[in-house]
A and B are shown apart, each in its own frame.
Chain A
Amino acid sequence: MNLKITAMLFTLGLFAGQLHAGPIKQATLPPIEHEQAALTVVASDGVETRYSAAELEMFPTYSLTTTTPWRDEPTVFEGVLLSDILEKNGLNGSPSILVTAENDYQTTMSKDLIDSVQILVATRVDGKAHSRRVRGPIQFIIDAEAFAGSSLATEASLVWMAARIEAAE
């Protein structure tokens, strides 16, 4: 059974045109009730698209088990890839993007960073819907090992309560 799933995922990966190596693995997520939250993405043509957590999970979903600066124990994060969202909205060519959180926090992420490190836009933690009280409901997660090895990734890249993505001016 496991062999069949692996073969299927491999085939899907080939057809999808990309196969993500490393700790981030594609995962199929069961339906779940999310906390009320939304990520607004301003596309390259200026069109704003508001994604609820459930809508975000319409993108290919992935699973990542890692620690974060605020979690000492490895935790299973699930969600979608930031690169997929940006590509969908034509922002993958932008030199940098501006990310705004619900608490008005803002950070700029360069294309180099996004291209060099896989960033998971997590909507679930340990199989449950992500919540604000634990830096959800939408949080940017980078594998701890990749985070430590990157000269571009900083704690500022691990945006919690992410609310808006747009091209940086």
Chain B
Amino acid sequence: MIPPSSSKFRFQRFLDAIASRLGIYSAIGVLILICVGMGTYLQSVVIELDKSLVEFEDQQVRNGYVAMSDVQRLVLVAHQAVNAGVMSKPLATEFRTAADILYVRANHFRQLSEGKENSFIKNSALATLDEIVALADDTVSNDFQDCDLVFKKLISLSSKARENLVQFLDEMRRQADLITEQQAGVMRHQQFVVLANLAGLTLVGSGALLLLRREVLERRGREIAERRSEFLAYFDSLTEIPNRIQFQDKLAEYIQSGAHFALIFIDLDEFKQINDTKGHSAGDATLKHVGRILQDAAENNFGFAARLGGDEFAFIVPTVDLVSLENLCKELLDKGSRYFDYEKGQLKLSFSIGLATSKMIEGSASVIAEALSRATDFALYVSKDEGRNRFTIYDETLEKRFRMRREMLDELPDAIANNALEVHYQPKVNLINGETFGFEALVRWRRNGDLVGPDDFIKLAEESDLVLDIDRFVLNRASSQVSEINRTSGSNFSVSVNLSAHHFASCRIVTWIKEALCDSDLQPTLLTFEITETVEMLDWKSAGEVIAEIRNLGCNIAIDDFGSGYSSLSYLYSTSPDELKIDRSLIIELETSAKARLLLKSIFEIARNLRMDVTVEGIGSSQQASILLSMGAKQGQGYLFGRPLIAELAFDAAMLGNATSTLKLSG
């Protein structure tokens, strides 16, 4: 943008002023001046020429020649009479006629000269003609007496007349030359004036045209800019669908009308990734593609689509019929999931959709707008939270549950930082002698006076990587406490710590384990990490490297919840764990189902062959313990042996139990 003080800007302002106001008046003024100047000059030229032409008249020249002829006619008749020796009647008639003709000629000549400045020569010529006519008239009146004398006088006078007329004609010729010269000069001046005027007119015309063009272009530019700014005020420039402002107006309009409608928010899943990996052109193409999809859907459903900003879109549909709305959402998801072309290839995307209807919201018009947007936004959030590429219809109960979960997640970082987490220990028992040989460290959260189990917050923590901090906390606390009890009581308890699959994305956990071992002075062989096979663990290469590092430290690896979820034999083969922890779901039907017993027996067989320890979880009764023992199980864990307790209680109970078992054995 040009700063207002710059010379270029001032020049443009000057041109604008010329083009708009001064230009019109100036151009008209210059044109008038040129026309007046040209007209005045031409008028003066015409006057000058007229003046010259008054003095010189073509008829006068002709009259001079004819006068000479008329004199000659009279002389000729006289000459014939002299030759004939007599003035015959026909000759007399001819003589009179010739005299009359000359009389009229002289008279006419004189009339032509009336009002003009006659030269001496012309007057002399006229006087001579008059003399000849007078002589002829005398001769006629004397009845042609003494023709010879008359003839001589006539010859003399005609000679004089000829001489005068020739001089007159010479004078006329000089005047003609002068006029011709004047005309040539005038023509030259006229040529110059015409050329100068043409140049001036061309200059003024060209300037006027240029300024007009500038004005037209600027006006057009202004109109385009105005239209553009008007468009941008209510439309999104990229997708060319309505923008947030128009959406808000339209939403208010719908609410004001009192008719029920549905509001849909749509977010593009992983849009940032498209921008980052494919470039902004791909991102723009994606947004345009979505804009087209929504615009088409809006037209087909008599609705209204808008881009709210970024990858957020909104859709208003004049219906609250949930079946129709579900179909619409499915259609949008389907269209969004199709490949579309962009300049560098093809792209595919997915939507997260949130939907709420005005019927679900109660309140005044001003409240509805905000509440409906919030509800729709919540539904959209749920869709995203539940894995994206789906739609969610707003539900009040769902929202309450979700809010609680959300609050918990928000509080979790502070809970970790403020030691609101506790580690509880559940004993792992030797089924043969009943002694506790170790513990599984389990995290608890003391929240608002209540103890919250891991099932309620670990999954949340995994979504935000807070689980890393939690696992580290448990690792440090458990290492420290178990090491401490071993040192003080001479025991040799082992401890199992759960390890989230999130740790296998990097080797940072290895460093943390080293630090924990170092800080607690716990023997690495007493530390076991329980891992659960999950979808994230499918990248065996990365997970295998981390597991190998942990084992290199001397620690053990246990497969937790074996027999449920994703556990597989190939998993066993790849991980080569030291211990298998059989999921409690396999124990439930142990006493009644031969099939369950057969399955457990097979697992024990596999573990034995692979030289792995087996710990059976969820043992709740002595009968279950007896059956398992008979099947070859050596280690167990469950409420039969003890619930998870805080360190002091758990350790005391274990040592007391062990002492009792020892006494029994020695006794």
List A residues at the B interface (Cβ < 8 Å). 36, 70, 102-105, 131-135, 160-161
Contact = CB atoms under 8 A, between A and B. Distances in A.
B103 A133 contact: yes
B414 to A, nearest CB: 114
A132 B100 contact: yes
Nearest to A105: B66
Interface centre among B100, B103, B108, B111 (most CB of A within 10 A): B100
Contacts of B101: 102-103, 132, 161
Nearest to B133: A133
Interface in B45-77: 66, 69-70, 73
Contact of B100 (A70, A104, A133): A133
24 contacts: A70-B108, A70-B111, A102-B97, A103-B66, A103-B69, A103-B70, A103-B73, A103-B101, A103-B104, A103-B105, A104-B69, A105-B66, A131-B100, A132-B97, A132-B100, A132-B101, A132-B103, A132-B104, A133-B103, A133-B104, A134-B104, A135-B104, A160-B104, A161-B101
B372 to A, nearest CB: 91
A46 B232 CA distance: 96
Q: Which 5 A-B pairs have the closest CB atoms?
A: A132-B100, A103-B101, A133-B103, A133-B100, A135-B104
Nearest to A131: B100
In the complex, which range does the number of interface residues on chain B fall in? 10 to 19
Contacts of A131: 100
Contacts of A132: 97, 100-101, 103-104
A132 B136 CA distance: 15
Contacts of B167: none
Contacts of B70: 103
Contacts of A133: 100, 103-104
Contacts of B103: 132-133
Nearest to B108: A70
Nearest to B104: A135
B67 to A, nearest CB: 10
B93 interface: yes
Nearest to A101: B101
A100 to B, nearest CB: 13
Contacts of A105: 66
Contacts of A134: 104
Nearest to B111: A70
A160 B100 CA distance: 12
Interface centre among A103, A131, A132, A160 (most CB of B within 10 A): A103
Contacts of B104: 103, 132-135, 160-161
A103 B66 CA distance: 9
Interface centre among A36, A133, A160 (most CB of B within 10 A): A133
Contacts of A161: 101, 104
A131 B101 CA distance: 11
Interface in B290-341: none
B100 to A, nearest CB: 3
Contacts of A102: 97, 101
Interface centre among A70, A105, A132, A134 (most CB of B within 10 A): A132
Contacts of A104: 69
A103 B108 CA distance: 13
Nearest to A69: B111
Contacts of B111: 70
A131 B179 CA distance: 38
Contacts of B105: 103
A132 B70 CA distance: 14
Contacts of B66: 103, 105
A166 B100 CA distance: 25
Contacts of A135: 104
Interface string B617-641: 0000000000000000000000000
A29 B69 CA distance: 36
Given A104-B69, A132-B97, 15 more contacts: A70-B111, A102-B101, A103-B66, A103-B101, A103-B105, A131-B100, A132-B100, A132-B101, A132-B104, A133-B100, A133-B103, A134-B104, A135-B104, A160-B104, A161-B101
B93 A36 contact: yes
Nearest to B93: A36
Interface in B600-616: none
A70 B105 CA distance: 12
Nearest to B73: A103
Contacts of A36: 93
A156 B105 CA distance: 15
B507 to A, nearest CB: 117
